[in-house]
Structure 1
Amino acid sequence: MTAFRMTPAAARRSRSRSGLRAPRAAGLVVAGLCLGLGFVGCAAPLPGGTTPSANPTPQPGVMPLRGMPVDPSAAENPSLAVKIDNHPAARPQIGLERADLVFEELVEGGLTRYAALWHSDVPESVGPVRSIRPMDPEILGSFGGIVAYSGGQPQFVDQMKAAPLLNVSFDDDSEGLFVRADDRDSPHDVVLAAAETVALHSDLAPPPRQFDYADSAAEATAALAGDPTTGIVTRFSESNGRAWAWDPAAPAYLRSQDGAADLDTAGAQLRATNVVVLRVEVDRGSDVPRTILSGSGEAWVSTSGSTMPVTWFKDAAAAPIRLADADGATVELAPGNTWIELVPADDGSVELVL
């Protein structure tokens, strides 16, 4: 990795941004400024205590979870959220490369699991499907539509059933939507008939928009106002590491896990148009860690090979995540798929490669 340094442009922005609270560095890699990221003006409460609107302005004619142009009639289906396994034995996952949004969350043993959402491009099958966790109602509550999973502790299942989504569970599969794959070992073998699940519940409303999108990648906020970076490295615990490398030929961020390329079932490396890293608190009061995705905190948005520090806001479980720059303006992502990394504030880390 390149040593971190402040660019002249970053220095000018630093002098122009007054009243910002310095970020807390506990538990994060610190090498240079702002959690080792080489940026000043890192995400903090906005001047005057303002927050961006919790009700994003509709963008007619675009997919609500991907920001790409669409015939409105093709976006009338509900979104499908699925808990996807990320144990090494579960890789490569099925259909993950076609998800609009993927949230990566910490679970037991320092491992991570995905809450992935499909709306614009629903595959025939997705998996391996795993159990629900206590943070999932908060992560998924703003999307509506369908959530699918394979069991979970009773109290977590009850919390998910109380959320405003239709629950589809492997443990109560009256519609025959789940199967066990013959070429995978249990418990990493549960596969959901995704397209059939959505078709059976096509009466449900489509999801509201989660993020704001620019008209093109070149007009995305980070592309215009961020600092050039070639990669993003995140750690959710001491036992794992994730990396995103910007490939201008793709153009996309290519994903690696634990030092190796992260591949789909066709052997292609998983990729993202936008990578959004949120620094989040984690409740470790029980054997199951619970990510707290409410309130606000520091974040970083990477698009088109540039990264900028922002602030994230989420007012309630049913409210969308809002992203704002240091002046309180809404951050616009590039049209395309987005991965959201929910990195623990206590012992997680975030680094940018210049």
Structure 2
Amino acid sequence: MGTRTRTRRMTVAAVAAVAALALAPGCTLSKTDGGDGNVPGGSGGRVLAVKIDNVGPARPQTGLDAADVVYAEQVEAGLSRLMAVYAGRLPPVIGPVRSARETDLELLRQFDDPALAFSGAQSKLLPLISTAPLRPLSPGKAPGNAYFRGSGKPAPHNLFVRPKALDADPGAGGLQSTGFRFGPRPKGGTPERERTVRFPAARFTFTWAPEQKRWLVSMDGARARTSDGKTLGASTVVVQYVKVRESRFHDRSGNNTPFTETIGSGKARVLRDGRAYDARWERTSPQDGTEFTTADGGEQLPFAKGQVWVVFAKA
């Protein structure tokens, strides 16, 4: 059975369950409530994706703690960049905002009419962005008050966006198409306190904090915090092993832009509730989400409710 068929059946079942619960006497559902095994929120909905700078001068970032999903991908010279996906609440400001990459276009195909906030892109990539099934919201295509330059960081690490000014209209149901499923901790797994993922010139470390019931994030050896002092942490961390290859694009210094292949299948490591699970991932087409199953029995592997970090590690 393919991912699309499995996802469709689970979505139909989820909609039916939500409808039944909503009709039960005395039961109500908020936009962020979701039953076990289902993505929080109802069916449908859009997301706002924001490309966020992640080099030293760009930190600490703003608004990253409000994201539903944070994708960490490799860019030129082995550095990292983040794509934060918002389907629930929008913070007042997000940033620093940086440029898009070809990897983002394939990754965003799984969402229904997603909006992408980014600072720009190299000239050869712009035609691909303009024809991709998304709403590009760079400074030149957004309302005049949406983007602004902050005074606390040097350029180009000082571009921020007011997401509500973008009229992106995200909804909690926008995450339905990711393929993620949320629910109680599954059996098995092994106790894990810390996990580090290394890029050629960047690294991410996730440390389990039992009192907070989340994985605290460190980047390049320093604990990650937002500009207002909040510690970044994830309820679920996915280390997804993928093929990272050269693309046809380069930066101004001549460094090749890596392309991360998110369609296909492979191994993964899922961290939740202080435990680590060996997993398999599968995404059969650009329109499909990514399904995560247990490595031994092929059963759906549920995530813990809360923010999800997906780090694309080279297989």
1:128 aligns with 2:96: yes
Q: AA paired with 2:257?
A: V
Mapped partners of 1:115, 1:63: distance in 2: 21
2:266 aligned residue: 297
1:245 aligns with 2:210: no
CA positional deviation for 1:140 = 1.5
For residues 283-302 of structure 1, the C-alpha deviation after alignment (integer angstroms, 9 at most, x for no partner) is: 12551111111111110111
Higher relative contact order, chain-length normalized (CA < 8 Å, sep 6+)? 1
Q: Which residue of 2 aligns with 1:220?
A: 185
**Distance apart, 1:158 and its partner CA:** 2.4
Shift of 1:139: 1.3
Give the structure 1 partner of residue 293 of structure 2: 324
Is the contact made by 2:180 and 2:290 (CA closer than 8 Å) also made in structure 1? Answer: no
Question: Is residue 158 of structure 1 aligned with residue 122 of structure 2?
Answer: no
Q: 1:140, 1:69 → 2: CA distance?
A: 19
Give the letter aligned to residue 338 of structure 1: V
One-letter amino acid of the counterpart of residue 135, structure 1? T
Counterparts of residues 149-188 of structure 1 (less than 5 Å): 149-188=118-157
Give the structure 1 partner of residue 115 of structure 2: 146
- In structure 1, which of residues 233, 241, 251 is the aligned counterpart of residue 196 of structure 2? 233
Moved over 4 A (4+): 61-70, 203-206
Read off the aligned partner of 1:171 and give its amino acid letter: G
The answer to whether the 8 A contact 1:90-1:188 is kept is yes
Map of 2:64 onto structure 1:
96
Structure 1 CA distance for aligned equivalents of residues 180 and 300 of structure 2? 7
Distance 1:327 1:195, change over 3 A: same
8 Å CA contact 2:34–2:40 kept in 1: the answer is no
Q: Tell me, what secondary structure is at the counterpart of 1:81?
A: strand
Spell out the pairing of 1:277-296 with structure 2 (5 A cutoff).
277-286=239-248, 287-296=256-265
Between the aligned partners of 2:290 and 2:33, the Cα distance in structure 1 is 13
Q: Deviations over 1:116-153 (max 9, x none)?
A: 10111211110111101011011111123211111101
Contact 2:87 2:175 in 1 (8 A): no
Supply the AA of the counterpart residue of 2:193. Answer: T
- Residue deviations 1:229-282, cap 9 Å, x none? 001110011x32210000000010001112211111122321000000101111
Equivalent residue pairs, number: 285
Are the counterparts in 2 of residues 85 and 127 from structure 1 also a CA contact under 8 Å?
yes
- Whether contact under 8 Å (1:65, 1:100) holds in the other structure is no
Change (3 A) 1:258 1:208: closer
Q: Contact 1:54–1:315 (CA<8 Å) still a contact in 2?
A: no
Check conservation: 2:242, 2:266, Cα contact below 8 A: yes
Unaligned 5+ segments in structure 2 are 19-28, 249-255
Structural mapping, 1:57-72, within 5 Å: 57-58=10-11, 59=14, 60=18, 63=32
1:152 maps to a residue whose letter is: A
Residue 186 of structure 1: how far off its partner (Å): 0.7
Instruction: Give 3-state SS (helix, strand or coil) of 1:152's partner.
Output: coil
Q: Which runs of 5+ in 1 are unaligned?
A: 1-49, 346-354
Q: Are the aligned partners of 1:274 and 1:302 in contact in 2 as well (CA < 8 Å)? A: yes
Name the Cα RMSD after superposition: 2.5
**Preserved CA contact (<8 Å) 2:39 2:182:** no
Tell me which residue corresponds to 2:306. 336
TM superposition score normalised by structure 2:
0.83
163-172 vs 224-233, which moves further: 163-172
More deviation, 318-327/246-255 = 318-327
Q: Distance in 2 between matches of 1:203 and 1:241?
A: 30
Question: Does the 8 A contact of 1:255 with 1:270 survive in 2?
Answer: yes
Query: How much has 1:182 moved relative to structure 2?
Result: 1.8
The TM-score normalised by the length of structure 1 is 0.74
CA–CA distance in 2 between the matches of 1:180 and 1:192? 9
Structure 2 equivalent of residue 271 of structure 1: 233
